[in-house]
Chains A and B, each alone.
Chain A
């Protein structure tokens, strides 16, 4: 099955800093989503981005499907950005999740 690797596993940032999270996947996909899991466990959908670039406020994402990776950019980080960020992919199969990147933003 599809393998998903996320890096880095942990990231600590000072408030206001920028960061880039990476997701590598092993096969072609027709669905790639980025999620933020809040401290209560809710998975919040950030982007549906099987290819191309999208932006939503301070967050943006780029997927290069031909090279099998996706990047999530967080600019001007805030303490509320803390949590775990998951990349999940699907290729006509159920979603396969990476292990996540745990982000801690400190004031």
Chain B
């Protein structure tokens, strides 16, 4: 079966702009989580969606938001980009939630100039 896909794979933006990243989970997987990876902070949880509802949220400012559609595809949005938002953004999916095996996508590498 097809794996987790993320688009775009690479993105360059300037400070103050906004960006939308997309994640399509494995078919049948209804839980989608987003993580930010930076050299300084490592892998940090952003939020989790299940059946179009945000179920958990990490400790990130309100500039970071997300949503999930009825087909389980998820998007995350970052508004008013800052230099520190440069990171690898990874999404993970599973059937029901974070208590089971998580499958990660290839990530979107965002560079903010």
Q: Which residues of chain A have a CB within 8 Å of any CB of chain B? A: 30-31, 33, 35, 40-45, 48, 86, 88, 90, 92-97, 99-100
Contact = CB atoms under 8 A, between A and B. Distances in A.
Nearest to B103: A45
A45 B102 contact: yes
A92 B99 contact: yes
B43 A94 contact: no
Given A40-B106, A45-B104, A48-B101, A94 B90 contact: no
A31 B48 CA distance: 16
Nearest to B42: A99
Given A41-B106, A93-B56, 10 more contacts: A30-B99, A31-B100, A42-B107, A48-B101, A90-B98, A95-B33, A95-B35, A95-B45, A95-B98, A99-B42
A92 B58 CA distance: 14
13 contacts: A31-B98, A31-B99, A41-B106, A41-B109, A42-B104, A43-B104, A48-B100, A92-B98, A95-B33, A95-B92, A95-B98, A97-B43, A97-B44
Contact of B56 (A35, A40, A94): A94
B111 interface: no
Contacts, number: 57
A44 B104 CA distance: 7
Sorted nearest first, the 6 A-B pairs with minimum C-beta distance are A97-B43, A43-B104, A94-B45, A48-B101, A90-B98, A41-B107
B88 interface: yes
Given A92-B99, A93-B98, A95-B33, A86 B107 contact: no
Contacts of B33: 94-95
Considering residues B33, B100, B102, which has the most beta carbons from chain A within 10 angstroms of its beta carbon?
B102
Contacts of B45: 94-96
A30 B35 CA distance: 20
Contacts of A92: 98-99
